[in-house]
Copies of this chain bind each other. A is one copy, B any other.
Amino acid sequence: MTGETARREAAEHLALTLVGAGMQRMGARALAAFLFSDKESLTAGDLADELGVSAGSVSGAVKMIVQMGLIERIHVAGSRREHFRMRDNAWTTLYSRQHSVVDDVLTAVEKGVEAVGPGLALERLAYMRDFYTFLLNEAPMLVERFEQQRRGGSRP
């Protein structure tokens, strides 16, 4: 029967899991609310009601997930409120963003490579650098491949 309660429960469960994956609590809850809503867009007030938190908290959470590129601000004619909606490419965007964190790590490793002389440390650092460089190169292709597959089905 997919009741309202089940829906909320599933949403909260996903939020919890995202927190486990490193996301901030309120951001995760807000994101889940978007995912599980059948509306095209939500206002800050809608979120506050749905999640049962203060307007301030919603403001912070929304700010964060907008910055992550997962939702966007839209203006709805005839409504005074600000509306937000999930972006179509939210998940591929999120994936790419995570790789910008990888990029930071890579930069730090490269500094390390320059800072140490020959030896075991250099070998380890070089290996790490190679692996993360590889990942960074491959990631865009992966996303590309997914989108292709989703659009067209099998390639020639």
A residues bordering B, Cβ < 8 Å? Answer: 2, 6-7, 9-11, 13-14, 16-18, 20-22, 34-40, 86, 91-92, 95, 101-102, 104-105, 107-109, 111-112, 114-117, 119-121, 124-125, 127-128, 130-132, 134-135, 138, 142, 145-146, 149-150
A125 and B36: CB pair below 8 A? yes
Chain B residues near A131: list those with CB within 8 A: 91-92, 95, 146
Chain B residues near A149: list those with CB within 8 A: 134
Residue of chain B at shortest CB distance from A85? B120
User: Taking A125-B35, A131-B91 as contacts, is the C-beta distance between A116 and B10 under 8 angstroms?
Assistant: yes
| A125 shortest CB reach to chain B, Å | 6
Q: Which residue among A34, A114, A127 has the maximum number of chain B CB atoms within 10 Å of its CB?
A: A127
Copy number of this protein in the oligomer? Answer: 2
Residue of chain B at shortest CB distance from A36? B121
12 A-B pairs whose Cβ atoms sit less than 8 Å apart in the complex: A10-B114, A14-B112, A17-B107, A21-B101, A21-B105, A34-B124, A36-B125, A37-B121, A86-B124, A91-B128, A91-B131, A130-B150
A13 and B120: CB pair below 8 A? no
User: Taking A112-B11, A131-B91 as contacts, is the C-beta distance between A119 and B38 under 8 angstroms?
Assistant: yes
Q: Please name the 8 residue pairs, one residue from A and one from B, whose CB atoms are nearest each other, closest first.
A: A10-B115, A38-B119, A22-B22, A14-B108, A17-B108, A10-B112, A6-B115, A91-B131
